Structure 1
Amino acid sequence: MYNWIRVLFSLLLSTDTVATHLPCRIRQPVLELSIYTLLRMAFIWQLVSLAIYLVGTLAIGAFLYDNFKSLISIIKALLEPYFQPQLPQSLLDKFGKWAVITGATDGIGKEYARELARQGLNLVLISRTKEKLIAVTNEIESEHKVKTKWIAVDFAKGREAYDQIERELAGIEVGILVNNVGRMYDYPETLELVPEDTIWDILTINIGAVTMLTRKIVPQMKSARRGAIVNIGSGSELQPMPNMAVYSATKKYVTFFTQALEQELAEFNVTVQLVMPMFVITKMNEYSNSVMRGGFLIPTARSFARSAVFTLGKTSMTTGFWTHGLQYFFMKLAPLHLRMLIGHQLTRRLRLEGLSQKKIT
């Protein structure tokens, strides 16, 4: 019994050692058996190594594709005029004369409107406050020779807002729709401390507006076989965001909705673009002095909008601004759970800033 234990142990060492512990009449079969076992183990290890290599290669390839397809699409679009000069080049030529922008009196929405007007598009500005709409309309008309129209509606009121918009847009062929309107918490906060009215507004505006207004305008774009729908999402969709749970969840909805709609409308030559900004200096972030100071990673609304409009018609998904693209790339290197923990630490700090601001006011 002891000798056989020694033999089995020697299999793990070398075939030469096996031979020294066996009688001559059984040495050759055992040697053959050990070589067969070693070859089989080597073959299995090669298969495992190959499987790991393939999975790793596919994972890296998918990651790189996901992060660089937007850049590649932009480069492709910039080179197209040299190879296909007959294609329409301006946004007006590609999509039509009129652009509709929601949430158009502040921040990103206002700057989108100014940038589109600079490129020659007529505008329909939609927002809640009549006085602000008139002021922005006058400002844009004084800067650019375009037609403008404004519609004062409160998206928080739900269905009645879209009936009014539909009536006001009658006779206007919409070439570009920018679904920018959105609602955030007054500052990051735990769910039970957020007012119910605020939560209802976030759900109604962030999900309802992008869905229902798109539904109203899509039929004419499909009929014209051209048009662009731009949905302004958020980098907060990259992971669940504690203390901004409802907001980040609604922005994940915007991501999935936009990507699905892109496939639905591709055959009708209608462009659908998802824009996912990180922090931008806007009224939405006024609760945080650190965000409102701006910096390398936090652009002004005007800088962001100019960059984001430049990508329209060139890529279906973008962060809109190059430093935001860098942030997105490095964040996605981390596992989801780690991103969520980092996000939680960030919103805790921003919550304290918001509470501090609230006490001051």
Structure 2
Amino acid sequence: MRDCYSLIRLHFIPRLVYPRDLVHRYGKWAIISGASEVIAKAYAEELARHGVGIILISTDSTSLNDTARTISDTHGVEAVLVEADFSHGALTCKPIKDAIKDKDIGFVINCLNSSLDIPRDFHDISESELWQIINNTVSAASLITRLALPGMAEKQRGVVVNISSGRCFRPYARKAALSASTAFFDHFSRALRYEYGHRGVFVQSLLPGSVASEGDDGSIITGWLVPQPHVYARHALSTLGISHRTTGYWPHTLQLGLVRLRDIRAFSPISLGR
């Protein structure tokens, strides 16, 4: 009964309430890191629908020209593109500093690279690729959040959302980089919450399950447990200010609950004795 109540309070009641004024509550601009990811794009469009200006940060800004144009044309807000490859070091922060200067930053959205979900033996990842993974996930999320936090703390308002994966609850073979990165995002969020929650900054660890993406043949497979990105983003945004740690989508919450229950049963004393 407690779990049912939590599910309803988090995922259903907020969606029945009239949409909140996100600009007034948190700020006028959002920084979207890892903006080439489908969830990040959908989240950016959902924020833009609420009147929030968007700063898209990616290692390849040219791939986001259409996204920025769509956001501006459809929602009437400004969309700024910033190219930043954090494997080049801390100097990568300079164009981001220039982009956010004198802007009322209310949102920092860090999104994990979905390509980490592809199974690979760890020793098959080259040194240069591993360097790219570490710097454009862990370093990028840390540095971008660091740039925005002073202004948020001073204004006593703001949001940091770290989007990783529901797979962070346990390690997976042949996905060491994914497991480690999602664990960092999750613990980073929880630590920031303890440090900045009393300063008016809401920090959320978003742990989605599978979200639909376009395949190599252009097809998109969706379903109850695999929502369209914009559907997921709309559900996830409704949990903002309510839950610090959530899947963001109620079928994913049910799915994760069943997985965790299975794990508990598998490692119970009775099971271990068989």
Normalised TM-score (structure 2): 0.86
Q: Give the Å deviation of 1:186.
A: 7.5
Q: Give the Å deviation of 1:177.
A: 0.9
What is the aligned partner in structure 2 of residue 261 from structure 1? 192
Identity %: 30
Counterpart of 1:98, as a letter, is W
**Which whole-Å CA distance do the structure 1 matches of 2:134 and 2:265 have between them?**
25
User: Is contact 1:70-1:316 (8 Å) kept?
Assistant: no
- Go from structure 1 to structure 2 and tell me whether the alpha carbon gap of 1:148 and 1:80 turns closer, same or farther (over 3 Å shift): closer
Normalised TM-score (structure 1): 0.66
Q: Give the Å deviation of 1:187.
A: 2.5
Counterpart of 1:179, as a letter, is N
Show the 5 A alignment for 1:174-323.
174-182=105-113, 184-185=115-116, 187-282=118-213, 286=215, 293-323=221-251
**Which whole-Å CA distance do the structure 2 matches of 1:186 and 1:270 have between them?**
30
**Structure with bigger gyration radius:** 1
**Which whole-Å CA distance do the structure 1 matches of 2:61 and 2:122 have between them?**
32
Further displaced range: 234-243 or 121-130: 121-130
1:104 maps to 2:35: yes
Q: Give the Å deviation of 1:226.
A: 0.4
User: Is contact 1:183-1:202 (8 Å) kept?
Assistant: no
Q: Give the Å deviation of 1:71.
A: 5.1
**Which whole-Å CA distance do the structure 1 matches of 2:13 and 2:244 have between them?**
13
**Which whole-Å CA distance do the structure 1 matches of 2:5 and 2:142 have between them?**
28
**Which whole-Å CA distance do the structure 2 matches of 1:229 and 1:270 have between them?**
7
> What SS is found at the alignment partner of 1:89?
coil
- Go from structure 1 to structure 2 and tell me whether the alpha carbon gap of 1:78 and 1:181 turns closer, same or farther (over 3 Å shift): closer
- Alignment match of 1:326 (pick from 249, 254, 269): 254
- Alignment match of 1:146 (pick from 66, 73, 77): 77
**Which whole-Å CA distance do the structure 1 matches of 2:201 and 2:45 have between them?**
23
Q: Give the Å deviation of 1:185.
A: 3.5
What is the aligned partner in structure 2 of residue 359 from structure 1? none
The runs of 5 or more residues in structure 2 that have no matched partner are 268-274
What is the aligned partner in structure 1 of residue 272 from structure 2? none
The runs of 5 or more residues in structure 1 that have no matched partner are 1-60, 82-87, 340-361
Q: Give the Å deviation of 1:224.
A: 0.4
- Which structure carries more helix by proportion? 1
User: Is contact 1:237-1:248 (8 Å) kept?
Assistant: yes
Which one has more relative contact order, counting CA pairs under 8 Å at least 6 apart? Answer: 2
- Go from structure 1 to structure 2 and tell me whether the alpha carbon gap of 1:229 and 1:70 turns closer, same or farther (over 3 Å shift): farther
- Which structure carries more strand by proportion? 2
> What SS is found at the alignment partner of 2:115?
coil
User: Is contact 2:53-2:77 (8 Å) kept?
Assistant: yes
> What SS is found at the alignment partner of 1:331?
helix
> What SS is found at the alignment partner of 1:184?
helix
What is the aligned partner in structure 2 of residue 58 from structure 1? none
> What SS is found at the alignment partner of 1:334?
helix
Q: Report the count of equivalent residues.
A: 266
